[in-house]
Amino acid sequence: MRLVVARCSVDYAGRLDAHLPEANRLVMVKADGCVAIHADGGAYKPLNWMNAPNTLVEQRDERGDYWVITNPKNETLTITLHEIISDVSAELGDDPGLQKDGVEAHLQELLAASPEAIEDGLTLVRREYPTAIGPVDLVCRDNTDQVVAIEVKRRGEIDGVEQLSRYIERLQLDSSLGDIRGVYVAQSIKPQAKVFAESRGFTWVEIDYDQLRGLRSDELKLF
């Protein structure tokens, strides 16, 4: 990973144009090629970013140093470095990933055994389907043979929807999978996360963990 603290301005050109005026920011370049620009606030969400795969070219002209990051869709992220305050690189190595708590891990296991509890006609392709940014909880096919990526949480919040979005972006790089749709599954999902999931084109399902374990006879709440 490379971490650059710099006074910089950023220009994105693609589906729309966006500009970040000159300010001090953190530019993060991950080993997989992902580039993210962060302010000193806003928690984990970057101001702008370019997912891998992409190409990063460092250039210099009369304006000074600048980077041009280009993805396969020919979208570009141009970072003009007006002043570099710090430039540090480090090898982080393989990460074991986030360990799910007992309930969440068991919920995933139960759903892998009974994917029809999520949606009629689903069949499991693989649990913990590997990608370069971590495993997708469940990858299934529906009754039309479309690939369905499923993220399983105990409590459904907005960050889980964003995680599902990133996984689907990675899966879409494999043309053999065809069209991919997403389903967000949790015991309970916050209203904001439901709206966000729908805005991304995902469906969401609330699962009764006790019922799935055979302790209750109520019907699953499917919306």
Q: What is the mean pLDDT of each run of 10 residues along the chain (223 residues)?
A: 96 90 95 91 82 92 90 94 95 66 80 94 94 92 96 93 94 92 95 95 92 60 47
Q: Which two tokens stand for residue 89?
A: 């690189």
Nearest to 23 by CA among 33, 13, 37, 36: 37
Distance CA 126, CA 143 (A): 16
Domains for the chain: give ranges and CATH numbers. 2-89 (2.70.180.20), 102-222 (3.40.1350.10)
pTM: 0.56
Whole-number pLDDT of residue 218? 46
